[in-house]
Structure 1
Amino acid sequence: MNIRYLRYFMTVADTLSFTRAAEQLHIAQPALSIAVKKLEQELDITLFHRQERKVSLTYEGQVLLEHAHQIMQQIESARLAIDELKGLEKGEVRLGVPGMMGSYFFPDILMAFKTRYPNIKLRMVEAGTQSIRKMLVNGDLDLGVVVNRNVPDTLATEHLLNSEMVAVVSQVHRFSKKSSISFKEFFSEDLVMFREGYFHRELADEICQKYQLESKIAVETNLLPMILKIVEGNHAVSPLLKLVAQCEHQVSYVPFEDPVKLEIVMAWRKNSYLSLADQTFKEFVKEKCV
């Protein structure tokens, strides 16, 4: 199978347009059409439904696209391995981190890593757990920090630390003097929450479903400083990691009567090559979490 033709196919599948794909690939559209047609002839299948101004994948095309992503990841892994054998390190770590971890746990670790390894580039993407898992599976990230829940079978994980979700409230809120609160008490309050796709939102939704509770979400935002400001002003409450609440002295936090324990792990694609830079960073973070 011609790898160049496979890459052309993936670009058309991504854009659903031979014209846009040709522009991205910097080749003439007729040459692209011929290449895709040759691939179809080689495989003896039709990859696209072609209409006058519309292109869509056939079922066979969808199946090939899934395998094509895996093939390209393996090719990239092979190139990295050969480069390192020749003494050429990748020199970049693509890391996905949830907002709370990125703001409170990782800055010191990242700076310490850069001090020790100044030539390795760190590219950190701050996103929700669902997005990080998806980007890892698709090969858009090398490593990701996620909660060890609903992790796809295609990802490997390694323990980093344990944490706990707590109720964060203003210092004048009636909950602030309590030693613990029930889920029923907490979810009776107005909430400020991350949007769907973030693990603290997933947990809240699961708790409500399990205990047949209804959440009263007053504000949705992915900005952690805004969440803390709203809580500080006693306008709403929010469930956040204890490691965040301990750093924010302008708010109070209360454990739940039924503790919400979480395991934070480092994740990466199984059967995928981790560059020397990735392996070095993974071991460095694990060392700092001991």
Structure 2
Amino acid sequence: MDLRHLSYLLEIAKQQNMTKAAQTLHLSQPTLSKIVRSVEDELGAPVFDRSGKGLRLTDSGAAAIRQIPAVLRAVQDLHTAMDDVAELKTGTIAIGLPPVIGSVFFPRVISPFQREFPNVSFQVTEEGAKRIEGLLLSGELDIGVVVGPVNAQSFHAVPFIRQQLALIVHEAHPLAGRRRASIAELADEPFILFSYGFAVRQLVLRACQAAGYEPRILHSSSQWDLMAEMVAAGVGISILPDVICSKITDPRIRVIQLDDPVIPWELDVIWPRDNYVPHAVRSFIKFIRLSEGMTD
């Protein structure tokens, strides 16, 4: 049913005269009469009683006229909502972030994006990289940030941060006065690492195994600040991304660069290749590319 035809019925009911309504609508009277009959056929009941000199609404017609304004408003609201989404006046992005990088990603990307698009909201899920990948593939998240490399067959990826991991020790530790250290030198140390499912943990484990030993993991945590507190208390050592080390202000902690080997820490913004990408997410991806100096 053509929505314009419903608006024609409103005008006819207002004028109570087919000829006057046709003049107002800039239609010929026969054309308008044909439209009305067509609408009545679709509704399965007469809208107007034509037995007298003028037009009167039938019971069915009165019921229809009461509903038509609501129908037209609902359709208009639908178009407005679609336009708002297309123009990014509104939208929601479900994003997965490892807890370790939330404090970096928010000020660097999300905050400036929301200044430009204040009505786009974010639903943030904090999980490890593997869990984020699973939530993306199941459609529970739109976009995620993980430590690369990622499976290129399953995900699109945009590089975000390219840094490396660093060692943190207590100020009284034998290595505290050093600027650099190797993974091999840490074979007998008690490690404080991220929990299972965190990519940083796997990077450290692989580096230790390549150096010929399995690290002795004393504590595991999902919170880098708690890990730093344990190091400051002399409980053990930890290996964290450079960007996190730069946030540690406890004077008891020393940051030492690892150079044998360097352990790269590369963050990628990813989204599934086979899933629908909402308009707000596409705009967010474009924003990230521009903010990181990349082109599409």
Instruction: Report deviation, 1:152.
Output: 5.9
Specify the alignment match of 1:146 in structure 2.
146
TM-score by length of 2: 0.65
Specify the alignment match of 1:271 in structure 2.
274
1:189-241 deviations in Å (ceiling 9; x for gaps):
11111111101111122123323212111111112221111112221111110
Specify the alignment match of 2:254 in structure 1.
252
Corresponding pairs, count: 209
| TM-aligned CA distance change 1:284 to 1:187, over 3 Å | farther
1:5-54 deviations in Å (ceiling 9; x for gaps):
xxxxxxxxxxxxxxxxxxxxxxxxxxxxxxxxxxxxxxxxxxxxxxxxxx
Instruction: Report deviation, 1:110.
Output: 2.1
Map 1:1-290 to 2 at 5 A: 86-89=82-85, 91-151=91-151, 153-250=153-250, 251-256=253-258, 257-290=260-293
Amino acid of the structure 2 residue aligned with 1:261: P
TM-score by length of 1: 0.66
Q: Do 1:245 and 1:252's aligned partners in 2 also have CA atoms closer than 8 Å?
A: no
Distance in 2 (CA, whole Å) between partners of 1:107 and 1:242 is 17
| TM-aligned CA distance change 1:226 to 1:103, over 3 Å | same
Instruction: Report deviation, 1:88.
Output: 4.8
Q: Report which of the two structures shows the higher radius of gyration computed on alpha carbons.
A: 2
Distance in 2 (CA, whole Å) between partners of 1:94 and 1:163 is 26
Instruction: Report deviation, 1:259.
Output: 0.8
Alignment partner of 1:227: what SS? helix
Distance in 2 (CA, whole Å) between partners of 1:258 and 1:116 is 41
More displaced 10-residue stretch of structure 1: 104-113 or 233-242: 104-113
| TM-aligned CA distance change 1:188 to 1:162, over 3 Å | same
Instruction: Let me know the Cα RMSD of the aligned residues.
Output: 2.2
Distance in 2 (CA, whole Å) between partners of 1:114 and 1:204 is 35
Amino acid of the structure 1 residue aligned with 2:286: E
Instruction: Report deviation, 1:162.
Output: 0.5
Q: Which runs of 5+ in 2 are unaligned?
A: 1-77
Instruction: Report deviation, 1:85.
Output: 9.8
Distance in 2 (CA, whole Å) between partners of 1:187 and 1:278 is 44
Q: Which runs of 5+ in 1 are unaligned?
A: 1-81
Distance in 1 (CA, whole Å) between partners of 2:82 and 2:289 is 28
